[in-house]
């Protein structure tokens, strides 16, 4: 509700006061090393608006109790809040039923959940899993662990030098051995928006199950799981203004129902005896133990907040910002953008001739500019492009065009220091 109050009145109109929106984020008001903080590490995690911080505090001040098990009033309140957020999540991603949305710790846990349930049940010796060249380690390693156990093989959909997936090559890789296609919606290292609908429909035509890693998509554009047509869609809350430690794994009920539980414990059972236990219905079947209740409450507040601004407006704003940041980087002699796909969201990765990205990050930090440097948990992307690392500026809607100029002067400072 508070999100709606903070700028809900503007939603119907065409214009959003982005500086007012920025002011909702207390962390952005800081000075760092004597300079205004320019936070450009949004792909790693977003900052949190006051409404999310307040929702978590209010939860502990007024509603804290364990959920589902208590008959007492407070437990009922906590349960209503927790299950209410499931409905918000479903609406946000256009799921047909809130029960399709399983709360997990984040994208990493969501993918591991699918690997340990769907993967262990449906993937066997000689089978193949198709990943893409753009994947984050979270969408590689769980499948490697599974392949080691089951004797299955990973094959990789290649990309071009711009960081775009080669869909024709994907078509050639699909075979009767393919049991799963697991592809990111948006690359965290390069910002590429993949042709996920096309990939999903080609895989489905071949009868193959599709998992989409939506960690970098849900925070930046409207996502409609129904329209995408995949079987699993996974994302993290902390990259979309919610607290850390909460995320969502979506799949149609019929698919969840067909899978065994993964973690065992309280809340995921229907009955327990030493001889045999039976399982609760989905989603409880996949939510063993006391969940991250305040994380869910915070996620609900974040969804209210983002929805009040409008995800289409956020996407448009970030597109303009990204162009400004890329132009700023290009203006500095000796820089090169890495990742030049036609369809991109939020990420400007770059290198500077003769300068290690860690040095770029360290000098930028002296200017108050927070960049990420390294392989961005996507080492195969770096290997494919013949790089060890890049510097990455990743934007959110609360960044400003002026911050692109701050980045430019920080990079110019890097050049000066290195005499480039």
Cβ-contact 297, 59 below 8 angstroms: yes
Comparing CA positions, the residue from 237, 277, 223, 279 lying closest to residue 256 is: 279
The distance of closest approach from Cβ of residue 146 to ligand PMP in the complex, given in angstroms and rounded to an integer, is: 17
User: Mask 229-248, x = binds ligand PMP (CB under 6 A)?
Assistant: -------x-x----------
Residue 215 binds ligand PMP, judged by CB under 6 A: yes
**Binding residue for ligand PMP, selected from 7, 136, 150, 344, defined by CB under 6 A:** 136
At its nearest, how many Å lie between ligand PMP and the CB of residue 182?
11
Q: Is 39 exposed, middle or buried (0-12, 13-18, 19+ CB in 10 A)?
A: buried
Kindly state whether residue 6 participates in binding ligand PMP, applying the rule CB under 6 A: no
247 versus 261: smaller Cβ distance to ligand PMP:
247
**Is 241 a catalytic site residue?**
no
Residue 184 contacts ligand PMP per CB under 6 A = yes
Minimum gap (Å) between residue 104 Cβ and ligand PMP: 9
Contact set for ligand PMP, span 102-121 (CB under 6 A): 106-108
Residues 349-378 that bind ligand PMP (CB under 6 A): 377
CB of 392 to ligand PMP, least distance (A): 11
Interface region with ligand PMP, contact rule CB under 6 A, candidates 26-34, 171-179, 213-221, 336-344: 213-221
With contacts defined by CB under 6 A, how many residues of the chain interact with ligand PMP? 14
Residue 285 lies near ligand PMP (rule: CB under 6 A):
no
Q: Which is nearer to ligand PMP, 135 or 367 (CB)?
A: 135
Contact range with ligand PMP by CB under 6 A, out of 4-12, 164-172, 210-218, 346-354: 210-218
- The residues carrying an active-site annotation are 377
């Amino acid at each position: 509700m508070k999100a709606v109050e903070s700028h809900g009145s503007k939603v119907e109109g065409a214009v959003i006061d982005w500086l007012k929106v920025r002011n909702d984020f207390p962390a952005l008001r800081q000075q760092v090393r004597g300079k205004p903080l320019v936070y450009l590490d949004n792909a790693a995690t977003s900052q949190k608006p006051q409404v999310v911080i307040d929702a978590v505090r209010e939860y502990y001040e007024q509603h804290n109790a364990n959920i589902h098990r208590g008959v007492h009033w407070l437990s009922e309140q906590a349960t209503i809040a927790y299950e209410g957020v499931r409905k918000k999540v479903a609406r946000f991603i256009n799921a047909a039923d809130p029960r399709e949305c399983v709360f997990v710790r984040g994208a990493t846990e969501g993918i591991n959940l699918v690997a340990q349930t769907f993967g262990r049940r449906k993937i066997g010796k000689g089978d193949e899993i198709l990943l893409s060249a753009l994947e984050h380690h979270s969408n590689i390693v769980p499948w490697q662990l599974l392949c080691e156990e089951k004797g299955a093989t990973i094959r990789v959909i290649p990309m071009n030098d711009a960081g775009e997936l080669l869909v024709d090559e994907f078509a050639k890789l699909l075979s009767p051995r393919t049991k799963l296609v697991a592809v990111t919606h948006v690359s965290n290292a390069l910002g590429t928006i993949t042709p996920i609908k096309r990939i999903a429909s080609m895989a489905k035509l071949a009868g193959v199950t599709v998992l989409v890693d939506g960690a970098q998509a849900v925070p930046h554009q409207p996502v409609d799981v129904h329209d995408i047509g995949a079987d699993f869609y996974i994302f993290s809350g902390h990259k979309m203004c919610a607290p850390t430690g909460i995320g969502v794994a979506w799949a149609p009920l019929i698919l969840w129902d067909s899978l065994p539980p993964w973690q065992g414990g309280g809340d995921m059972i229907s009955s327990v005896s030493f001889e045999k236990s039976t399982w609760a219905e989905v989603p409880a079947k996949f939510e063993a133990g006391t969940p991250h209740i305040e994380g869910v409450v915070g996620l609900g507040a974040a969804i209210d907040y983002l929805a009040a601004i409008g995800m289409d407006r956020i996407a448009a704003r970030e597109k303009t910002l990204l162009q400004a940041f890329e132009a700023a980087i290009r203006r500095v002699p000796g820089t090169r953008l890495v990742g030049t796909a036609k369809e991109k969201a939020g990420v400007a990765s770059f290198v500077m001739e003769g300068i290690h990205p860690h040095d770029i990050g360290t000098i930028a930090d002296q200017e108050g500019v927070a960049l990420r440097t390294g392989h961005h948990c996507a080492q195969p992307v770096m290997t494919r492009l013949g790089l060890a690392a890049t510097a990455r500026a990743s934007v959110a809607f609360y960044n400003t065009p002026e911050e692109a100029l701050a980045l430019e002067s920080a990079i110019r400072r890097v050049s000066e220091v290195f005499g480039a």
